[in-house]
Amino acid sequence: MKYFIYLTLAVLFWSGNFVFGRMVSSEIAAIELSFFRWFFVFLILLPYLIYRSKHIMKFFKKDYLILMIFGIIGVAGFNTFLYLGLKTTTATNALLINSSIPIMIIVLSAFILKTTITKIQGLGIILSTLGVIFLILKGSIENIINLHFTHGDLWILFACVNWALYTVLLKYKPKELNALDFLSITVFIGIIALSIVYFYAGYSFDLAVFENGKVLYSLIYMVVFPSLLSFYFWNTAIVEIGASRAGQFTHLMPIFGAILAFIFLGERLEMYHVFGILFIALGIYLSIFLKKV
Residue 280 falls in which region: left (phi positive, over 0), alpha (psi -120 to 50) or beta:
alpha
Instruction: Give residue 172's pLDDT.
Output: 93
106-123 pLDDT, tens digit per residue, is 888 888 988 877 777 778
| Top-confidence residue, 216 or 270 | 216
Position 64 pLDDT exceeds 90: yes
For residue 27, count other CB atoms closer than 10 A to its CB.
13
DSSP string for residues in 58-112: HHHHHHHHHHHHIIIIIIIIHHHHHHHHHHHS-HHHHHHHHTTHHHHHHHHIIII
In whole angstroms, what is the distance from residue 88 CA to residue 43 CA? 30
Position 138 pLDDT exceeds 70: no
In sequence order, the 6+-apart residues with CB closer than 8 A to the CB of 19 are 91, 257, 260, 261, 264
User: Exposure of 201 by Cβ count < 10 A (0-12 exposed, 13-18 middle, 19+ buried)?
Assistant: exposed
Task: Assess contact for 56 and 49: CB atoms under 8 A.
Answer: yes
Instruction: Give residue 7's pLDDT.
Output: 94
| Top-confidence residue, 283 or 220 | 220
140-166 pLDDT, tens digit per residue, is 777 767 766 678 888 988 999 999 999
Position 266 pLDDT exceeds 90: no
- Percentage of residues in the chain having pLDDT higher than 90: 46
Instruction: Give residue 275's pLDDT.
Output: 77
| Top-confidence residue, 195 or 127 | 195
Binned at pLDDT 50, 70 and 90, residue 127 comes out as confident
Instruction: Give residue 77's pLDDT.
Output: 92
Average pLDDT over residues 87-94: 74
230-247 pLDDT, tens digit per residue, is 999 999 998 888 887 788
What is the distance, to the nearest Å, from the Cα of residue 184 to the centroid of all Cα atoms in its chain? 17
| Top-confidence residue, 285 or 9 | 9
Domain ranges of the chain: 2-289
Q: Give, to the nearest 10 degrees, the angle between helix 78-88 and helix 30-51.
A: 160
Binned at pLDDT 50, 70 and 90, residue 281 comes out as confident
Binned at pLDDT 50, 70 and 90, residue 136 comes out as low
In whole angstroms, what is the distance from residue 254 CA to residue 276 CA? 9
Task: Indicate the DSSP class of residue 212.
Answer: S
Longest dimension (CA), the chain: 59
Average pLDDT over residues 202-224: 92
Alpha helices in the chain (DSSP H): 2-23, 30-51, 53-69, 78-88, 91-98, 101-108, 119-136, 151-169, 179-200, 213-222, 230-241, 243-247, 253-264, 271-289
Instruction: Give residue 274's pLDDT.
Output: 75
Task: Assess contact for 168 and 51: CB atoms under 8 A.
Answer: no
Side chain identity at residue 51, one-letter code? Y
Task: Assess contact for 190 and 41: CB atoms under 8 A.
Answer: no
| Top-confidence residue, 9 or 100 | 9
Task: Assess contact for 169 and 161: CB atoms under 8 A.
Answer: no
- Percentage of residues in the chain having pLDDT higher than 70: 89
Average pLDDT over residues 54-66: 94
Instruction: Give residue 117's pLDDT.
Output: 74
Position 39 pLDDT exceeds 80: yes
